[in-house]
Amino acid sequence: MNDKATSDTQYKHWTLSTDIDNVLWLSIDREGESANSLSMEVLSELGTIVDGLETDAPAGLVLLSGKTGSFIVGADVREFDGYDDAEMASDGIDQVHRLFNRIEALPFTTVAAIDGICLGGGLELALAFDYRIATNVEHTRLGFPEIKLGIYPGFGGSARSVQQAGASNAMQLMLSTRNLRPGAARAMGLVDELVGRHGSLRWAARRAIKQGRKSKPPGQLKRLQNIAPARPLLAKMMRKQVAARANPEHYPAPFELIDAWEKYGDDPQRMMAEESERVGKLITGDTSKNLRRVFFLMERLKGIGKQTDTKVRRVHVIGAGVMGGDIAAWCVLQGMDVTLQDRELKYIEPALKRAKSLFAKKLRDRSKIAGAVSRLVPDVEGKGVAKADVIIEAIFEDVDAKRDLFADIEPRMKAGAVLATNTSAIPLADIASVLKKPKQLIGIHFFNPVAKMPLVEVVYDKKSDAEQVARGAAFCSAINRFPLPVKSSPGFLVNRVLAGYMAKAMSMHLERNIPIEVLDKAATAFGMPMGPVELADTVGLDVCMKVVEMLGGESTQREAALLQDKVDAGELGKKSGKGFYTWEKGKPKRADADSGSYALDEITESLLQPYFDACESALADGIVEDADVLDAGMIFGTGFAPFRGGPLHYLKQKGADQ
């Protein structure tokens, strides 16, 4: 097949090339951006192109990306704040609907050739084409992430996806926001054909044009899911599943999507009309505005990890307890070679067992699991120190033990390696005092559970080398974690805030006899993912005790004593199976407590006051760069209610409202 184009037309964000067979190749390459997104300017140019296609039809049309390894990441989220009211937003959505409907109605075969990330508006545009081909490679992913932004697919995606893939598949994809691998997308019906690593996407697209291919209609079972008798039953099940993890008062978007589909799932045009109205209201609401704020905070943290191009291949972790072992396993899962050190092999073996379970859960492929297992090497003698690009200490919280360890490590590490401690509260200078080059020690503080918590504090003090801090942040990004630079001080940022919060819960339990279940319910009613007592159990009561003792002082003696009693009894929380709660299959067993007899609003206010006070004092002390970074740390490090936009943002908005 001849790929040579016979003519080219260049727009600002699009390129048109017509080959000798009169196939039109439409390439999107948004100017000045590393990834393609659908801004209003990009869509306006596309509208002009469609004008020409409607009057001068080619033999076929192929949509592809001009950016290597990336298709279209979605709509341009930065433009969402430009909508002043719901009506204005709805009008903008209507314009996109009309454009995509015109593409869908073109009187010749259209093919979307997908290579790389294809999300949100990008997938919605692809669904308006007759046929979709995707590269079956690791970097290609498809999905609808809109719920994370407090909206749902609004460029026709909710209507077209349920018709193409069936309601069960499409609704779960939109509600879960998960990204699909190419094979799963094809099985679902969102993709029609896959091209392997060594295949030609352009060749496959031209063949589809030549043969006039179109997506196969969904099977009878998928069609029946959109019929009226089935919709109320399926909608009820969906609401129950979503309500188990999201409060409709806090996160209305998924419930709006379910309502729209339940009423009009068999009428694509009416579903699009519902998109315009409902998404228009959602996008201008407080929840969506705050979730967009969270999105931009996340992007800022990602940017911190890109300030140096440090490459990390080998990691050495010292301490094979729950934290150290899980750090090692997570690094392996991200493709690194890891050596794991402890005093004897018997202390490392439980970590290896947990790691294998994690690999099996995440990788689901025997060869990949075996490869991961081979990259996690027990290392009692610590031979991995000399070769490691990053060395992380994760032993118990004792400053003398840490000093002895680092004094031994320093002479053996290679030049340029990152030397880090995972201490949760000990000031950096107290540990680094034994080093010949104290400026090279930084903190890389993970949170439990490592595989779920997205934030890592990168700790520095006035003696720290700035390049080492940047390398530490780059390492965090390399293992798919958000780096948060924090100044060394007792508790750093996250534990400084959480210490008073959890201590307050314990004091309210001790002094006012408020059941732990009621305390946790008051916090989750506010929007926290879990209450302070469950959080303490999850972190580990031994860790909490150390933090409360260090940060609370004499004012928290009763709370520290309560924790000490639990620790002495071996009740460490989730990791031991019992703490304040008894844990079964990773879930806390809750006693029945009549929360209706308590004033939850008053309890919530009392619980969160120390949390807010600590945030404000940490900002005043310069623990982080600014209020936005602090909000990011609290959202990704403590789970502060994302729909509220961060604790300091919440206080600011609350003050403005009052």
Return the closest-CA partner of residue 474 out of 409, 418, 421, 424.
418
Question: Cβ(72)–Cβ(36) under 8 Å?
Answer: yes
Is the pLDDT reported for residue 134 higher than 80?
yes
Same domain, 316 and 387: yes
Residue 238: CA count within 13 A, CB half-sphere: 26
Taking each helix axis as running N to C, give the angle between helix 286-304 and helix 466-478, from 0 to 180 degrees, rounded to the nearest 10: 120
Is the pLDDT reported for residue 424 higher than 60?
yes
The string of pLDDT tens digits covering residues 248-262 is: 999 999 999 999 999
Same domain, 508 and 481: no
613-620 average pLDDT score: 97
Going by the DSSP 8-state scheme, the letter that residue 462 receives in this structure is T
73-80 average pLDDT score: 96
Q: Tell me, what CATH number does 530's domain have?
A: 1.10.1040.50
Given 428, 461, 490, the domain boundary residue is 490
Task: For residues 334 and 342, give the distance between their C-alpha atoms in angstroms, rounded to a whole number.
Answer: 22
Q: Tell me, what CATH number does 380's domain have?
A: 3.40.50.720
What share of the chain in percent tops pLDDT 70? Answer: 98
Going by the DSSP 8-state scheme, the letter that residue 596 receives in this structure is G
pLDDT of the residue at 550: 78
150 falls within a domain: yes
**Rg for the chain, CA atoms, rounded:** 27
pLDDT of the residue at 8: 67
pLDDT of the residue at 7: 53
pLDDT of the residue at 3: 45
Same domain, 400 and 534: no
pLDDT of the residue at 366: 92
Same domain, 614 and 552: yes
20-40 average pLDDT score: 96
213-217 average pLDDT score: 94
Same domain, 193 and 74: yes
pLDDT of the residue at 9: 73
DSSP string, 463-488: TS-HHHHHHHHHHHHHTT-EEEEEE-
298 falls within a domain: no
Same domain, 442 and 357: yes
Question: Cβ(435)–Cβ(410) under 8 Å?
Answer: yes
474 falls within a domain: yes
Number of domains in the chain: 3
Same domain, 425 and 535: no
Same domain, 420 and 479: yes
Report how far Cα 605 is from the mean position of its chain's Cα atoms.
Answer: 29
183 falls within a domain: yes
* Least confident window among 284-293, 511-520, 549-558: 549-558
- Give me the domain span that covers residue 345: 312-490
Return the closest-CA partner of residue 610 out of 550, 556, 539.
556
296 falls within a domain: no
Return the closest-CA partner of residue 151 out of 225, 102, 90.
90
628 falls within a domain: no
292 falls within a domain: no
DSSP string, 254-311: HHHHHHHHHHHTT-HHHHHHHHHHHHHHHHTSHHHHHHHHHHHHHHHHHHHTTSS---
Count of CB atoms situated within 10 Å of the CB of 645: 23
pLDDT of the residue at 33: 96
426-447 average pLDDT score: 94
Given 490, 509, 527, the domain boundary residue is 490
What share of the chain in percent tops pLDDT 90? Answer: 86
pLDDT of the residue at 364: 84
Same domain, 221 and 328: no
Same domain, 477 and 565: no
Q: Is the Cα torsion angle 101, 102, 107, 109 positive or negative in sign?
A: negative
Count of CB atoms situated within 10 Å of the CB of 497: 28
Task: For residues 84 and 643, give the distance between their C-alpha atoms in angstroms, rounded to a whole number.
Answer: 20
Between 445 and 6, residue with greater pLDDT: 445
Same domain, 258 and 389: no
Compute the mean pLDDT over every residue in the chain, rounded to the nearest whole number: 94
300 falls within a domain: no
Report how far Cα 371 is from the mean position of its chain's Cα atoms.
Answer: 25
Q: What angle do CA 594, 598, 604 make, to 5 degrees?
A: 120
Going by the DSSP 8-state scheme, the letter that residue 171 receives in this structure is H
> How confident is residue 591, by pLDDT bands cut at 50, 70 and 90?
confident
pLDDT of the residue at 335: 95
Same domain, 375 and 455: yes
The string of pLDDT tens digits covering residues 162-185 is: 999 999 999 999 999 999 999 999
Task: For residues 651 and 641, give the distance between their C-alpha atoms in angstroms, rounded to a whole number.
Answer: 13
Q: Tell me, what CATH number does 94's domain have?
A: 3.90.226.10
